[in-house]
Amino acid sequence: MPKVVLITGASSGIGRTTALLLAKHGYIVYAGTRTPGNFNAKSENLHVIKLDITDSESINSAIKTIVQEQGAIDILINNAGYALVSTVEEVTEQEMFNQFNINVFGIFRVCKEVIPLMRQSNSGVIINISSFLGKVGLPLLTFYNSSKYAVEGITDSLRYELSDFNIRVHSIMPGFFNTNFAKGNLVVNSSIDADNPHYGQLIANLVPNIIDQINAGNNAQEAAELIRKMIEDPSAPARATTGDKASKFISMRRELCDEDFERRVREHYNLNG
């Protein structure tokens, strides 16, 4: 029997590419998105389904539809997310909440509904799409960083919690990928401007650098292939990196003490003033 996959945030980037790849390889894929009409791709095994991970009713409705049509959800890929660019000093309460509502609470909501199905079938795979910035801090991305650090914690804890039910839990930590992330998935606080009286120099040094690295990043196909490999390998590691930046920085993070690592990051991103 083909395995049934649910992918959140599947309208673009890594989510979309993974949905198409898995459908091509015989998986029955439900590509969850708030805007199903924008997916614009057809495959015999691909079903585009409306899914808003901030809305429990939307989640319940989508999962009910999948179970009615397929009887199970074998694989969950928590991919939906975005990055808030802001200083801590100038962020709004709503911006803080929105960042965690999607990147963290959304994972909890979907897992809460999918885990019982996997537990009943005594099998399953959950893959959380995190980021190398779930292990590496950067200024102006404090809220995104902390949300992805939380995703790493969710992954670690769920691995213990679900192991007795033969449910594997993993995280993928991408670096920068040449998707529409810089255009569609960066939300910028209104204070992020080179004329900012307190952080102008930091903003001028870092933001264009980050955007350039995203636009020159790896192809999303690389991440999709890693996700497929992780699904199909019962002995896959708890987490894996994909993309040049992730491999470089995660390796350095393991090898260096905190102070030396911070010095390297400062030099790489021109953060020394």
- 């199909």: which residue's tokens? 232
Burial 14-32 (b: 16+ CB within 10 A, else e): bbbbbbbbbbeeebbbbbb
pLDDT digits (tens, 9 = 90+) for 24-55: 999 999 999 999 988 887 788 999 999 999 99
Mean pLDDT of 59-65: 98
Is the model's pLDDT at 181 over the cut of 70? no
Is the backbone of residue 48 left (phi > 0), alpha (psi -120 to 50) or beta? beta
The two three-digit tokens of residue 41, written as one number:
């791709």
pLDDT, residue 272, reads 76
pLDDT over 70 for what percent of the chain?
97
pLDDT, residue 154, reads 98
* CA Rg value for the chain: 19
Please count the CA atoms within 13 angstroms of the CA of 272 that sit on its side-chain side: 8
Q: Work out the pLDDT band at 211, boundaries 50, 70, 90.
A: confident
Is the model's pLDDT at 184 over the cut of 80? no
Q: List the domains of the chain with CATH numbers.
A: 4-268 (3.40.50.720)
Q: Work out the pLDDT band at 100, boundaries 50, 70, 90.
A: very high
Q: Work out the pLDDT band at 183, boundaries 50, 70, 90.
A: low
Mean pLDDT of 204-211: 86
pLDDT digits (tens, 9 = 90+) for 111-138: 999 999 999 999 999 999 999 999 999 9
Is the model's pLDDT at 8 over the cut of 60? yes
pLDDT digits (tens, 9 = 90+) for 252-262: 999 999 999 99
Other Cβ atoms within 10 Å of 200 Cβ, number: 13
Q: Give the SS3 label for residue 75.
A: strand
Q: Work out the pLDDT band at 176, boundaries 50, 70, 90.
A: confident
pLDDT, residue 110, reads 98
pLDDT, residue 123, reads 98
What is the spatial distance between Cα 165 and Cα 122, in angstroms, rounded to a whole number? Answer: 5
Q: Which residues are catalytic?
A: 11, 130, 144, 148
